[in-house]
Amino acid sequence: MLSDHIEAEWIKKIRNNDSRVFEKLVGKYFEPLYRFAWRYVKDQQSAENIVQDVFLKTWRNRKNLDPSLSISSYLYRAVRNNSLNYLRSEKNVQHSIDDVNIMQFSGKDPEEEYIEKDRNAAINAAINELPEKCRIIFLMKKYDGLTYSEIADTLNISQKTVENQIGRAFKILRKSLAEILTIL
């Protein structure tokens, strides 16, 4: 992620109509935001649209951007909100309306997956079985590369909570995968 100082500079320039810097912002964040949205909506087109809309809104409201706030948290939060809204409005029975099922997994438990000799599936299934909040935070750290502080901002929780949940995730994962990993 950009250092705070550079980010604040970018925001000031974008506020001042600098569309070349805005383009840099899009180039930097589009793919990570797309992957983030995709975990929610599980559909390429929808994920792309959601991220596009967030960038467009950001440009249209550029006069109101606050350089003292983190732009990445702002973007992730907006994408998350739009993704949840999308899931609500789609009324698709495969999706739930909160963060619960945001990874596409087979739904089997780790041991079954292991029996099928698919280690990758086993590990990912274990991650999928984490308690909801714990899993969301863990995935944001692992796949989106957000800092504790950015995760806290995006989800509107304290950094301490993020820290606790990450620790908890590792503890649980280690326990549920201990036997699988030992045998390999």
Partner 1 sequence: MKESINWDLIGRYMTGEISDEDRTVFKSWIESDPENQKIIGDLNEIWNEPGIEPPACNVDRMKNEILVKAGIRMENRQKTRFLPMLQNLRTQVVLRYAAAFLVFIMSAYFAADQFIFNGQSEYENLNNVVVANTLQDKITLPDGSIAILDAGTEFSYPREFAPDKREVFLQGEAFFEVVPGKDRPFLVNAGSAHIKVLGTKFNVRAWNITESVEVVVSEGNVLLRSQGDNGDNSVVIYKDQKSVIKSDSDPTVPVTVDPEMYTSWINNTRKFNNTRLKEVIDQLERWYDLKFDFKNKKLLSVNITIQIQKEEPVRDYIDLISSIINVKYEISDETVTFK
Name the DSSP class of 98: S
| Interface region with partner 1, contact rule CB under 8 A, candidates 1-9, 42-50, 69-77, 80-88 | 42-50
Site string for partner 1, 2-41 (x = CB under 8 A): --------------xxxxxxxx--xx--xx--xx--xx--
Show the tokens assigned to 117. 């000799």
* Shortest reach from residue 28's CB to partner 1, in Å: 10
Q: Which is nearer to partner 1, 16 or 81 (CB)?
A: 16
Residue with tokens 């995006």: 154
Residue 83's nearest CA partner among 128, 51, 121, 130 is: 51
The packing angle between helices 148-155 and 132-142, to 10°, is 130
Q: Which of 6, 44, 97, 100 binds partner 1 (CB under 8 A)?
A: 44
C-alpha 8/C-alpha 69 separation (Å) is 8
- Count interface residues toward partner 1 (CB under 8 A): 53
Instruction: Indicate whether 157 belongs to the interface with partner 1 (CB under 8 A).
Output: no
Tell whether residue 171 is a contact of partner 1 (CB under 8 A). Answer: yes
Among 6, 56, 69, 97, binds partner 1 (CB under 8 A): 56
158 binds partner 1 (CB under 8 A): no
Q: How far apart are CA 151 and CA 43, in angstroms?
A: 23
Q: How many whole angstroms separate alpha carbon 180 and alpha carbon 125?
A: 12
**What is the Cα–Cα distance from 171 to 58, expressed in whole angstroms?**
39
Position 74 contacts partner 1 (CB under 8 A): no
Min CB(141)–partner 1 separation in Å: 5
* CA distances (Å), origin 35, targets 10, 47, 80, 103, 143: 23, 8, 11, 11, 8
Residues that bind partner 1 (CB under 8 A): 16-23, 26-27, 30-31, 34-35, 38-39, 44, 47-48, 51-52, 55-56, 59-60, 103-105, 119-120, 123-124, 126-127, 139, 141-143, 147-148, 163-164, 166-171, 173-174, 177-178, 181
